[in-house]
Amino acid sequence: MNLKKILRPHILQLKPYSSARDEFTGKADVYLDANENAFGSTSDDDRMRRYPDPYQSEVKEKISRIKEIPTENIFLGNGSDEPIDLIIRACCRPAVDNIIIMPPTYGMYQVSAELNDVEIRKVPLNKDFSMDAESVLKTINENTKLIFICSPNNPSGNSMDRQAVRDILASFEGLVVIDEAYIDFSKEKSFISELATYSNMVILQTFSKAWGLAALRLGMCFAHSEFIAVLSKIKPPYNINGATQEMALNALDKISVLKEMVEKTLTQREYLRSALKSIPTVREIYPSDANFLLVKIDQARKIYDKLIEKLIIVRDRSGVKLCEDCLRITVGNQKENDELISQLKKICL
Ligand SMILES: *Cc1c(COP(=O)(O)O)cnc(C)c1O
């Protein structure tokens, strides 16, 4: 990977803001360097009066042990949204460079690119939501900097073919961003184990789904250490707040809880699948490696509206290309799933 050719030229020279916590990193008795409050905090937790660790060293150490990857390959963001935006801003010259996405997919890649005035080249997924790797490779030009692959994909739920992803990694000189937000629910392994093989691979994961911490806004990005260093340089200095770091440290000791929740999710996913099958207007339930099902059903929009009347909210994807007449349904707990099925039966039968 030639990072110099991928990054916007000025990013290499850029000098980051140097915070008080950057200029002195040891342990001291008296801290009068950051204009913090010397008398306490309006929070019950007195630690909140201090600026948080801008490097998130402790959190990264724990993630490093769990993911079996050095801390120099880890970047943390305010949700996955922040790394998505930083990656685009680091690499794409506005009105010059482009990114490739494969719709139907997660909306933030397009939103971030548009916000940064970066061209979006769309290579739609096939009808079965598999990737058209050949068309992706044909769509690359000299200004293509990034290819976004969402696997398992939102909203379709399927994982992308591993070899097809590898083909793109091997033939593309820019960065391939693999969004693994739902990887914990998948029968497929994370691509993390192949980071050493592909220096142009960037992996996104999140605490929002399997970890059950959507409110924390904490996203993980794994990549070559040189690229991680660039992201760390251009991020806002205190992008992960102190409360989030504290809660993440706690959560990272509870992998057994995560595993239990994933097991429950998978059980309920298959329960929901079989219950939906008994509804005659359900035309198709797509395979899912995630914590949701994409369901093709007659008159999807009307059913969506009727469910809202019953105070049950699913995601209407019927207006999305290749998802015509589809609802995306998050796997709920037993009670929620039973309530959904019972209302659907009343509406559809
Ligand atoms: C939910 C989701 C995320 C997570 O976003 P956060 O900002 O970390 O909450 C990322 N990618 C995809 C595809 C998702 O569906």
Residue 349: pLDDT above 80? no
Residue 348: pLDDT above 90? no
Ligand 1: residue whose CA is nearest its atom 11: 181
What residues line ligand 1, using a CB cutoff of 6 Å? 79-81, 106, 150, 154, 179, 181, 206, 208-209, 214, 219
pLDDT band at residue 265 using 50, 70 and 90 as cut-offs: very high
Which residues touch 156 (CB under 8 Å, ≥6 apart)? 104, 125, 129, 286, 294, 323
Q: Which atom of ligand 1 is nearest to the CA of 206?
A: 8
pLDDT at 332: 98
pLDDT at 15: 85
pLDDT band at residue 23 using 50, 70 and 90 as cut-offs: confident
- How much distance in Å is there from the Cα of 255 to the middle of ligand 1? 20
% of the chain residues with pLDDT over 90: 95
Dump pLDDT digits (tens) for 177-208: 999 999 999 999 999 999 999 999 999 999 99
Q: Which atom of ligand 1 is nearest to the CA of 209?
A: 1
CA distances from 60 to 38, 70, 77, 251 (A): 29, 9, 12, 13
Q: Which atom of ligand 1 is nearest to the CA of 153?
A: 13
Dump pLDDT digits (tens) for 289-332: 999 999 999 999 999 999 999 999 999 999 999 999 999 999 99
* pTM (two decimals): 0.97
Q: What average pLDDT does the segment 237-266 reach?
A: 97
- How much distance in Å is there from the Cα of 204 to the middle of ligand 1? 9
**3-state class of 175 per DSSP?**
strand
Ligand 1: residue whose CA is nearest its atom 2: 181
- How much distance in Å is there from the Cα of 152 to the middle of ligand 1? 11
Q: Which atom of ligand 1 is nearest to the CA of 81?
A: 7
Dump pLDDT digits (tens) for 45-76: 999 999 999 999 999 999 999 999 999 999 99
Structure tokens at 32: 């009068």
- How much distance in Å is there from the Cα of 24 to the middle of ligand 1? 35
Residue 16: pLDDT above 90? no
Distance CA 129, CA 287 (A): 10
